[in-house]
A and B are shown apart, each in its own frame.
Chain A
């Protein structure tokens, strides 16, 4: 019969073994991070067309980890960029995705240009290097990676829900985008994840217009609706501005609904502690 102490010793041995393995792996990574020869060899393998997709992915993964702390890797940025640019059109979808992701996160112009061209093209979704929603997310890592007109076009005609969500996430609020975003907000057939983003995007561009839409939606759909807490938070976050009447009316509706509403809604309503315009210095 196995004693408890034996069982404990077995467990400790297993933990020790796992720990030893982890240490060995960690040491390997640390050695690699400090070795110009090893990093150069890894990049060379990445650039070699004969390297299998599995090995390419493994190399990208290793370089991604090493890139966080290695002082040597930045000295090889030109070679690494050259190799990764060569993988943008890899026949392997995951290699393409990881190469584009690595490069675009660093603002690489070649990767960005490639992604933009595909978003602008009428290529079928299946033929693109990466799906539209991933391309938007990659380009969105750079403030100037993707322009408003392109995002607006995708938001109005998205290939799928995920692309609409990403397009909305990256759209600024202005005279061109606010009407489109407000329309999506009111359209219950659109994905909730996209609609929930919109109040915090448009609320301070057109406070009166947004407050009016939010008030009507709250009155029609009630505080228990899924979108209600997001509408309430959007109204609560409106900064003081000259025309506060419409905003104050929406705030009143939210206050009146709060006592019997969900926790999320009440949390949003709690932000209405100050009357609209109280912070105004005008």
Chain B
């Protein structure tokens, strides 16, 4: 790690779109020591919207972010980093990022039982596209003579959780019994060893359930912060143009962000399907006409009005006066800033984004946000009913926040 004294005086590089990937990696390497200070330095690099990822291709941004995330294995994983780790395990199909998240877990101070469920879900995201990974250095010479893979990193993390992961033994057994043919003999052996190791622990840790705090909390926003977007121009799926305030003031609304060319089935596609389900829930709850629903594109260049309509129709969006898909043709930056959106771009192309759904009150202020994981539609409808001052009915009361 070098002389600590010299590190203190070394000038910190400018972490923006101009830094080379190698210099970025070198900066991350310097934080790879057991230190809360190092972890604190790495933490901002987990955000997809960090300026260091701006202007880069999706592949480069992901690789850099994965390298930073994996470094928590050495620095120690603070609680503030957990939402990012969980988000990756739940939604990412990129083997190096999933491997990095799994590796980071092993930097935690103590095993957390709730992570085991996310690790098992991550297996299903990557099992058909397992890849070699290496976090020892940023640039490696291929082929590697020995390497770990995303799957092996995930399984190692499950084993590391020890007694805290005892409850996922049945899930791992399903992998070996039902899906055995989907794994190489070596991977099957790793799964079997993982099961054996977990079985050796007494089931002392109960499975996470309703009583445990979720790893990602849906956020109720208490400040009455005005978004100051009233006069920006918005275009809907029919080419109709209007000011932001025309749609988002006067009634509470739910607004999700997406883009039509997002290839991740856990993100934008699911977001839109959920929005349709939320709309259906609003109708069932008798809130027809009281709440507005909107999906706003991160990519106004490609998502023209015609694309929005076609995309929405393909997902069953019931377009109408209170349900629109939109793009912000020339002032998207204002929207990104106002919501502090978790999105980044290479050129004008989205290179990464998080899942984000917001509830706005009738004055157009953010009242609630569901970030990183898909919001449970029932919970969203319940919150919207609260915003519209409608008592929760029995149907909605059944939902207790799953998915967060």
A242 at the interface (CB under 8 A from B): yes
Within 8 A of B (CB), among A43-64: 47
Residues of B within 8 A of A78 (CB): 130-132, 147, 149-151
Question: Are A109 and B59 interface neighbours, CB within 8 A?
Answer: yes
Given contact pairs A47-B143, A86-B143, A75 touches B183 in the complex (Cβ within 8 A): yes
CB proximity to A under 8 Å, residues B286-322: 301-302, 304, 306
User: Can you name 5 A-B pairs with beta carbons within 8 Å?
Assistant: A74-B182, A85-B132, A113-B57, A172-B301, A241-B239
Q: Is the CB of A109 within 8 A of B62?
A: yes
A282 interface residue (CB < 8 Å to B): yes
Report if A113-B301 is in contact (Cβ < 8 Å); known contacts: A77-B129, A147-B346, A241-B239.
no
Give Cα A81–Cα B143 distance, bound, in whole angstroms: 9
List chain A residues, Cβ under 8 A from B351: 144
CA distance A86 to B348 in the complex (A): 33
Q: Does A216 contact B (CB under 8 A)?
A: no
Contact across chains for B142 and A86 when beta carbons are under 8 A apart: yes
A89, closest chain B residue (CB): B142
Size of B's binding interface in residues, CB under 8 A:
40
A-contact bits for B154-187, CB 8 A (1 contact / 0 none)? 0000000000000000000000000001111101
> Nearest chain-A residue to B132 (Cβ)?
A82
CB distance from A79 to the nearest CB of B (A): 8
**Per-residue contact bits, chain A 82-124, to B (CB 8 Å; 1 contact, 0 not):** 1101101000000000000000001011101100100000000
The 9 closest A-B pairs by CB, nearest first: A86-B143, A85-B142, A78-B149, A75-B184, A109-B59, A144-B58, A82-B132, A86-B142, A147-B347
Tell me if A219 counts as interface (CB < 8 A to partner B): no
> Given A75-B182, A86-B143, are A143 and B63 neighbors across the interface (CB < 8 Å)?
no
The CA-CA distance from A241 to B240 in the complex, in Å, is 11
Please name the residue on chain A nearest to B184 by beta carbon: A75
**Residue in B closest to A176 when the chains form the complex, CB atoms:** B348
Q: How far is the CA of A148 from the CA of B184 in the complex (A)?
A: 39
Chain A positions within 8 Å of B, measured between CB atoms, are 36, 40, 47, 71, 74-79, 81-83, 85-86, 88, 106, 108-110, 112-113, 116, 143-149, 172, 174, 204, 239, 241-242, 281-282
Which residues on the A side are within 8 Å of B94 (C-beta)?
109
Select A71's contact among B60, B181, B306, beta carbons within 8 Å: B181
The answer on a CB contact under 8 Å between B239 and A242 is: yes
Whether B142 lies near A82 (C-beta < 8 A) is yes
Do residues B239 and A149 form an inter-chain contact, with CB atoms below 8 A? no
Whether A110 pairs with B239 at a CB distance below 8 angstroms is: no
List the A side residues contacting B63 at CB < 8 Å.
109, 113
Please report which residues of chain B, range 214-260, place their CB below 8 angstroms from some CB of chain A when the two chains form the complex: 238-239
CA distance A71 to B187 in the complex (A): 15
Decide: B131 and A147 in contact? CB cutoff 8 A.
no
* Contacting pair A147 B183 (CB below 8 A): no
| Contact status A113-B59, CB under 8 Å | yes
Contact partner, B184, options A36, A85, A112, A239, Cβ 8 Å: A36
Query: Which residues of B lie under 8 Å from residue A85 when comparing CB positions?
Result: 132, 142-143
Cβ of A88 and Cβ of B185 under 8 Å apart? no
Known contacts: A82-B144, A282-B239. The answer to whether A76 contacts B302 by CB under 8 A is no
**Which of chain A's residues have a CB closer than 8 A to the CB of B304?**
204
Task: Establish whether residues B143 and A83, one from each chain, have CB atoms under 8 Å apart when the complex forms.
Answer: yes
Q: Are B187 and A75 in contact (CB under 8 A)?
A: yes
Query: How near does chain A come to B63, taking the closest CB pair, in angstroms?
Result: 6
Within 8 A of A (CB), among B40-69: 57-60, 62-63
Query: Bound complex: CA of A75 vs CA of B181, how far in Å?
Result: 8
Question: Which residue of the partner chain B has the closest CB to A280?
Answer: B239
Q: Which of A106, A147, A204, A242 contacts B349 (CB 8 A)?
A: A147
- Is the beta-carbon distance between B302 and A172 smaller than 8 angstroms? yes
Given A71-B181, A77-B131, A241-B239, decide whether A144 and B302 contact each other with a Cβ distance below 8 A: no
Contact partner, A281, options B142, B150, B238, B346, Cβ 8 Å: B238
Min CB distance, B327 to chain A, in Å? 13
A residues in contact with B182, CB < 8 Å: 71, 74-75
Which residues of B have CB within 8 Å of A113?
57, 59-60, 63
